[in-house]
Structure 1
């Protein structure tokens, strides 16, 4: 996109406020203060025999070591529930050493090294500094993190759980003395980290979780897990112009690059209100619920690294909480996405249509489906035995009014590991090891699948596939990025002209005629 002249007046009010705030906030200095720690006064006791003192000292030391070990193991579980591994471990990289690329709408953000290395990681962090980074998005050096690190959700974590996480990362994670392989470099003005000070003032609710006495212990636990540690809203809640989560639309579904994180409110049509408890549990533990859907993209990573490893009672608690989330209906979805389609095959009619050496024969959705999809998903669309390759009917990816997940699955493939079982659908974009497909071919396949097995009212264009290939539709703030610097330049020039004009008027008034 080329830079054109752009006036501040033509910009949205929210954008004008953001730019003004970024300029002013850039001059602020961050200060940190540490709280004084009070020492407990011990009661004076009669002096005990030396042997008795030695025995009690040994016992106290053993108890302390046991408590420390318990904290470390509890922290390990909390780190799994928070899915720290998924973002802070690059493919084929060492655990928590960073370098993983998070494709945000505003640019690529690379996760940092959070091993206890004192030279490349967080080994020098105090527990207070660790807590501030985790819950406020501020590093030990005072610089701000981007909310791709879901500190807006982790703000809910209790002091006790933060201590356990700190114990785990400092004592049970292997230090990696190399910085993350790639560093975040967002375009202006998103690279001005100080602007996050203003963003946090608007969107960060820095309050700890408080159980609701009117709700059961199970629902409270589920809310803490879903909204805090598992940070479900980070993906499943739509965002506003400034990329903050929209109030009143919690978990109602949102774009996630080329993928779409679906509505997981209790609505029976647009959300998961029509799923049984057993289906929701199965989905979270395996990434697949027969007759409903399967996990791909970021959700597949969450299943691989997090949900499948949680205790059954915690999974049940999350499900119980989801039942209480206020329903949000999407008017474009007239019936549940999983209710569309049936088994049907065009395979017989395709036999003998083309000669064995005929060129350009892959010219229809039916032929492309037969050649690229039917061997795994079957000619009838019923999927494979055991559903490692799922049915294409009664499937939320094909029955939704939004074809994002169908197209993204074809482009990027699906990969998740449950136990020792690898679930893999190959990708068909330019990185495919099978055979890359063009935008036109993917559109033909998607439209054939939608007509045969899914929502027949949905159409996929070549342009839609091309956009998904580039990472999906950009939000308004990202689309405005090329104009922001010219807008600031225009604003500075206008301010200088106005200041000059005012100065000239004042001087003229002082000159006598």
Structure 2
């Protein structure tokens, strides 16, 4: 009996040990599975954050560049900035970045080696990003992006003195806010989410807020509109005349998803890119949040504006017999002869087939109307000029839109228009369907296409820097002479 009892106890001990081992293994397996699920969820969330932040637009070269491999050119008044490879490549990208390195680059504009990024990368806005979102974004870029072991062929080339060491450190000291986003207890969670998106992830302020003399955001003009790369990013404050205060919530949401609302506006340029790569892919809650927050933004009224740009009525119907003349056919090399400078005739040849003789477009908005169009009715003619010069290319939630470019540099059609001709068409279109105050020349068009005139300090930075260096050297020389005279007098 003792032997049986002993055997039973030993057997039971082994059985319990086996059960304990199995249980421990199950727990470990479940823990590993939970960890894997958490990692996958973090990567998915990071991918969504990358979309909301529109990272792919600026870190992918035009004309079929590889995603996130860099090479996108920013032509600025300070020179050319070329975006970097942000794939997890260990030789050409950010594959060697720690999470802390990544966070500093995203929110402080500083590489692991201590060199500074330039604010073409909106780290001043991403500074609002929460630690959790940075963590998820890092997980996505390290584990969810295909590495590309090739650096952009072209490099950033800034004019003197903007490329000097220490310049961006001084600028950051003056203009980089290190505070993270803090929800406002006095508004709803929806408005707080919209605020986080508008000022942080989606960095709407980068384009829609004017800049001061040092190219930093002018907080007094918050979301009040600004010129970016020639295009005019409009006022999106709650003002009912100059801003979007007269739009309904549904219209705003539709515009963010599709890039157009008939009788109001059509997106082009950078906004078209933002809609194609980012905004149309956001979930409904985030679109509603952006709309809710924009409703709370303090209104800014443009001096002299009394009618919303989309509400300007055409002056009168076109009387084609007043100017009509034989126009070469579409297959003729003389169609846009450079000697032609009559805006109405050029409109007839280049624009009327799509936008209509009277500028009414088509009912389905395949070709948008030029009447009740915010670009045509705006006080700034920039977007009409840029749409003619560069065309409009956009993918929205409801399909794709493409208008050909007509400038020689951006030509996507058989023939092109000179700057003088673009000015003539713009003058005609705005006179016929808008305010009629453009009165542009070819020289004006050239300035618009080059991004407009930069601030005085930026335009004259080289002269001022050289003058400062000469003055500093003069002070040093005079100081040395003064010391020598003092020593001579003491001797």
- TM-score if structure 1 supplies the norm length? 0.87
Q: What is the match of residue 75 of structure 1?
A: 46
Query: Within 1, Cα distance between the matches of 2:192 and 2:341?
Result: 54
Moved more, 72-81 or 356-365: 356-365
Tell whether the 8 Å contact from 1:354 to 1:361 is kept in structure 2 after alignment. no
* Structure 1 residues not aligned, in runs of 5+: 1-45
CA offsets 1:316-372 (integer angstroms, 9 cap, x no match): 110000000011111032221111133733334444567999988833111010001
Pair 1:272-2:244 in alignment: yes
Supply the distance in 1 between the matched residues of 2:324 and 2:207 (Cα, whole angstroms). Answer: 44
Please identify the structure whose Cα radius of gyration is greater: 2
Aligned residue runs from structure 1 range 228-267, under 5 A: 228-267=200-239
Residue 404 of structure 2: which of 426, 433, 457 is its match?
426
CA separation of 1:446 and 1:119: change in aligned 2, threshold 3 A: same
Q: 1:84 aligns with which of 43, 55, 61?
A: 55
Number of matched pairs? 466
Which of 453, 460, 481 lines up with 2:440 in the alignment?
460
- Look up the match of 1:50: 21
User: Does the 8 Å CA contact 1:344/1:381 hold for their aligned counterparts?
Assistant: no
> Would you say 1:202 and 2:209 are equivalent positions?
no
CA contact (8 A) 2:327 2:349 kept: no
Q: Superposed, which structure 2 residues align to 1:336-375 within 5 Å?
A: 336-342=308-314, 344-352=317-325, 362-375=340-353
Equivalent pair of 1:266/1:322 in contact (CA under 8 Å): yes
Matches of 1:361 and 1:83, distance apart in 2? 43
SS in 2 for 1:49: helix
Give 1:193 shift.
4.5
Secondary structure of 1:386's counterpart equals coil
Matches of 1:328 and 1:468 in 2, distance apart?
A: 24
Question: Does structure 1 residue 381 correspond to structure 2 residue 381?
Answer: no
Distance (Å, rounded) in 1 between the aligned partners of 2:457 and 2:226: 16
Relative distance call for 1:189 and 1:360 in structure 2 (3 A) is closer
Give the CA deviation at 1:267. Answer: 0.6
Cα deviation digits, residues 77-116 of structure 1 (max 9, x gap):
0100000000001121110000001222322211100000
Cα deviation for residue 239 of structure 1 reads: 0.8
Is 1:450 the counterpart of 2:430 in the alignment? Answer: yes
For the residues of structure 2 that align with 1:100 and 1:283, how far apart are their CA atoms? 26
Once the 2 structures are TM-superposed, how far is the Cα of residue 422 of structure 1 from its aligned partner? 2.5
Gap change, CA 1:127 and 1:310, over 3 Å in 2: same
CA contact (8 A) 2:161 2:462 kept: no
**2:185 is matched with which residue: 173, 194, 213?**
213
Contact in 2 for aligned 1:98/1:181 (Cα 8 Å): no
The alignment's C-alpha RMSD in Å is: 2.1
1:183 matched to which residue of 2?
155
8 Å contact 2:324–2:345 — kept in the other structure? no
Deviates more, 1:77-86 or 1:496-505: 496-505
| Corresponding residue of 1:412 | 390
Which stretch has the larger CA shift, 436-445 or 321-330?
436-445
Alpha carbons 1:392, 1:398 under 8 Å: kept: yes
- Mark the CA change 1:55 to 1:297 in structure 2 (over 3 Å): closer, same or farther: same
TM-score (norm 2): 0.91
Q: Which among 297, 305, 317 is matched to residue 325 of structure 1?
A: 297
CA contact (8 A) 1:145 1:193 kept: no
1:168 and 2:147 aligned: no
Inter-partner Cα distance in structure 2 for 1:216 and 1:355: 60
User: Which 10-residue stretch deviates more, 494-503 or 126-135?
Assistant: 494-503
Alpha-carbon distance between aligned partners in 1 of 2:165 and 2:368, rounded to the nearest angstrom: 43
Q: Measure how far apart 1:133 and its partner are.
A: 0.6
459, 464, 470: which is aligned to 1:484? 464
SS in 2 for 1:248: helix
* TM-aligned CA deviation for residue 64 of structure 1: 0.5
Q: What's the offset of the Cα at 1:180?
A: 1.7
Contact 1:346 1:366 (8 Å CA) reproduced:
no
1:465, 1:277 → 2: CA distance?
35
Give the secondary structure class of the aligned counterpart of 1:324: coil
| Comparing 459-468 and 442-451, the one that deviates more | 459-468
- The residue aligned with 2:270 is 298
